[in-house]
Structure 1
Amino acid sequence: MEAFRRTRSGFVTRMDANERTIIARVVADVAELLGFETPGPQQRTQDEGSPTDPAAQARESEEHADRMRRLAREVDAAFTAGESRGRSEGVSDDLPADPALARLLPDGSEDPEIADSLRDLTQETVRDAKGTRLQRVWGDLVGTGGLITVPAEGAMDWAGALTDVRLVLAERLGITDEGSVAAVEELAAGSPDDLTRALATLYVALSWLQESLVEAMLEELPDGA
Structure 2
Amino acid sequence: MPGTFEPLPGGGASVALDDVEISIIRSLAVQLLELIGPGPAEDTPADPLAELFAEGPSEPPSDPVLKRLFPDAYRDPETPGNPQEAAEQRAHSAEFRRYTENDLRAGKRENALAVIHSLNALTPGEGGLAVLELAPAESQRWLGALNDLRLAVGSRLEITDEDDTDDFYRLPDEDPRKPMVMAYLWLGGLQETLVSTLMP
- TM-score (ref. length: structure 2): 0.75
Count of aligned pairs between the two proteins: 162
Report if aligned partners of 2:60, 2:72 keep a CA contact under 8 Å in 1: no
Match of 2:191 in 1: 210
2:7 corresponds to 1:6: yes
In structure 2, which of residues 66, 76, 96 is the aligned counterpart of residue 101 of structure 1? 66
CA change 1:119–1:191 in 2 (3 A) is farther
Alpha-carbon separation, structure 2, partners of 1:24 and 1:184: 24
**Unaligned residue ranges in structure 1 (runs of 5+):** 38-91
SS at match of 1:124: helix
Alpha-carbon separation, structure 2, partners of 1:107 and 1:93: 10
- Percent identical among aligned pairs is 28
Alpha-carbon separation, structure 2, partners of 1:36 and 1:23: 20
Q: Which residue identity lines up with residue 179 of structure 2 in the other structure?
A: A
In structure 1, which of residues 100, 112, 119 is the aligned counterpart of residue 97 of structure 2? 119
Match of 2:140 in 1: 156
Report if aligned partners of 2:58, 2:95 keep a CA contact under 8 Å in 1: no
Higher relative helix content: 1
Match of 1:18 in 2: 20
Moved over 3 A (4+): none
Q: Which residue identity lines up with residue 31 of structure 1 in the other structure?
A: L
Alpha-carbon separation, structure 1, partners of 2:167 and 2:31: 24
SS at match of 2:133: strand
Report if aligned partners of 1:13, 1:149 keep a CA contact under 8 Å in 2: yes
SS at match of 2:61: coil
Match of 2:166 in 1: 182
In structure 2, which of residues 118, 123, 128 is the aligned counterpart of residue 140 of structure 1? 118
SS at match of 2:149: helix
Q: Which residue identity lines up with residue 9 of structure 2 in the other structure?
A: R
Shift in Å, 1:124: 0.5
Once the two structures are superposed, residues 95-117 of structure 1 have per-residue CA deviations (whole angstroms, 9 ceiling, x without a partner) of 31201111101111121111101
Report if aligned partners of 2:58, 2:98 keep a CA contact under 8 Å in 1: no
